């Protein structure tokens, strides 16, 4: 049986207060972090928030409260010792080596890959696609390498912003391909748009239209019209068995925001067993 989605919502701050009160604050920019391990590690496809991983010090923290653009708000590129991490685009010539097999595998020519000695992941190319994450730019395949692995059982890691929004990645690029050693890094840029897959009001028990008025977030806000930008940094360290994911949001307006929810909607992808109290799995 396939379980369609799992929701996780850490609460972050998007504002520039003199006295910040939250886990992260920038001028119009905030970083959301998560770890995406290869299939078979831990108890699920996402380990929530994490600080660095693999060999080396891991990705550095986001810049201070002075960003004037999305590029300035991006965290510095990570550094690490060692070699073996790679990143690039999947082509017809390398697809047999760079794509993964498995029950949930969806990668195609035109997508992007990251791999080292332990894992391989595929990042979907930008553009409108069919699925819960309809905008591309997300990790869609992940698997361990070597004998005894069962292939890809990872569905998709989708940014979930302000309860009713997500990110449409318009551009992906290889920031570091690993050819000179150190981490492999893929970076994407895009916009904050409506999350088509999840309508918070209609998903409630009675579809109560007053729900938005009782929430901390303004789920009807048009971030795209206000010019908000968003970016993602995927970092794979040499010798690591997980990818470090950092989301960055840039608010170009003069309006300081308070609490805004940012987390991940995770499509589990493969077959899973349902767990219920008393009955256990099955």
Task: Write the DSSP assignment of 77-106 as a string of letters.
Answer: PP--S----EEEE--TTTHHHHS--STT--
The range of the structural domain enclosing residue 253 comes to 6-56+66-270
- What is the Cα–Cα distance from 137 to 245, expressed in whole angstroms? 12
Position 199 in a domain:
yes
162 phi and psi angles, rounded to 5 deg = 55, 35
How many CA atoms does the CB half-sphere of 31 hold within 13 Å?
26
Number of domain units in the chain: 1
pTM of the model: 0.74
Q: How many CB atoms lie within 10 A of CB 203?
A: 9
First to last CA, the chain: 9
Order of strands across the sheet with 112-115? 86-89, 112-115, 119-123, 139-144
Over the range 130-165, which residues count as b (16 or more CB within 10 Å of their CB) and which as e?
Answer: ebbbbbbbbbbbbbbeeeebebbbbbbbbbbbbbbb
Among candidate residues 13, 18, 21, the one with its CA nearest the CA of residue 62: 13
Position 224 in a domain:
yes
- What is the Cα–Cα distance from 142 to 30, expressed in whole angstroms? 26
Q: Are 76 and 183 in contact (CB under 8 A)?
A: no
- What is the Cα–Cα distance from 31 to 51, expressed in whole angstroms? 12
pLDDT of residue 282: 57
Position 202 in a domain:
yes
Position 279 in a domain:
no
pLDDT of residue 53: 37
Matching residue, tokens 């498995």: 102
- What is the Cα–Cα distance from 24 to 16, expressed in whole angstroms? 10
Per residue of the chain (282 residues), give pLDDT as tens: 444 443 433 333 333 333 333 333 233 334 444 565 554 443 333 333 333 333 445 566 554 456 789 999 999 999 888 999 999 999 999 999 999 998 889 999 999 999 999 999 999 999 888 778 888 899 999 999 988 788 888 888 899 888 788 999 999 999 999 999 999 999 999 999 988 887 776 666 566 666 666 666 777 788 899 999 999 999 999 999 999 999 998 989 887 776 677 888 887 776 666 667 777 765
Position 90 in a domain:
yes
| DSSP characters over 186-249 | EEEEEEEEE-TT--TTTTSSS--TTGGGGSSS-TT--TTTTT-EEEEEEEE-TT-SEEEEEEEE
Position 1 in a domain:
no
| CA geometry: angle 11, 17, 20, nearest 5 deg | 50
Q: Are 32 and 13 in contact (CB under 8 A)?
A: no
Q: Are 33 and 245 in contact (CB under 8 A)?
A: yes
- What is the Cα–Cα distance from 210 to 200, expressed in whole angstroms? 11
Q: What is the SS3 assignment for 37?
A: strand
| CA geometry: angle 263, 253, 136, nearest 5 deg | 40
**DSSP code at position 213:** G
Contacts of 247 (CB under 8 A, 6+ apart): 31, 32, 33, 159, 167, 230, 231, 232, 262
Structure tokens at 141: 């395949």
Position 278 in a domain:
no
Position 282 in a domain:
no
């Amino acid at each position: 049986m396939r379980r369609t989605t799992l929701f996780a919502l850490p609460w972050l701050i998007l504002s520039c207060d003199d006295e910040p009160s939250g886990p992260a604050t920038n001028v119009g920019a905030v970083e959301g972090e998560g770890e995406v391990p290869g299939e078979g590690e831990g108890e699920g496809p996402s380990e929530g928030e994490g600080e660095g991983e693999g060999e080396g010090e891991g990705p550095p923290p986001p810049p201070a409260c002075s960003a004037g653009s999305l590029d300035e708000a991006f965290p510095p590129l990570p550094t690490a010792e060692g070699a073996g991490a790679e990143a690039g685009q999947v082509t017809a010539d390398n697809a047999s080596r760079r794509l993964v097999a498995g029950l949930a595998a969806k990668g195609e020519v035109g997508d992007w890959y990251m791999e080292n000695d332990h894992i391989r992941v595929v990042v979907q190319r930008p553009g409108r696609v069919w699925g819960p994450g309809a905008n591309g730019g997300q990790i869609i395949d992940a698997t361990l390498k070597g004998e005894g692995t069962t292939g890809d059982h990872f569905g998709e890691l989708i940014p979930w912003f302000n309860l009713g929004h997500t990110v449409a990645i318009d551009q992906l690029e290889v920031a570091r391909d690993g050819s000179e050693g150190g981490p492999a890094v893929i970076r994407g840029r895009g916009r904050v748009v409506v999350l088509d897959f999840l309508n918070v009001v209609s998903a409630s028990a009675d579809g109560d239209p007053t729900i938005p008025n009782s929430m901390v977030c303004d789920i009807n806000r048009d971030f795209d019209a206000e010019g908000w930008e968003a970016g993602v940094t995927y970092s794979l360290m040499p010798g690591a068995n997980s990818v470090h994911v950092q989301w960055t949001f840039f608010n170009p307006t003069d309006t300081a925001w308070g609490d805004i929810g940012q987390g991940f909607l995770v499509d589990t992808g493969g077959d899973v067993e349902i767990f219920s109290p008393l009955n256990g799995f099955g």
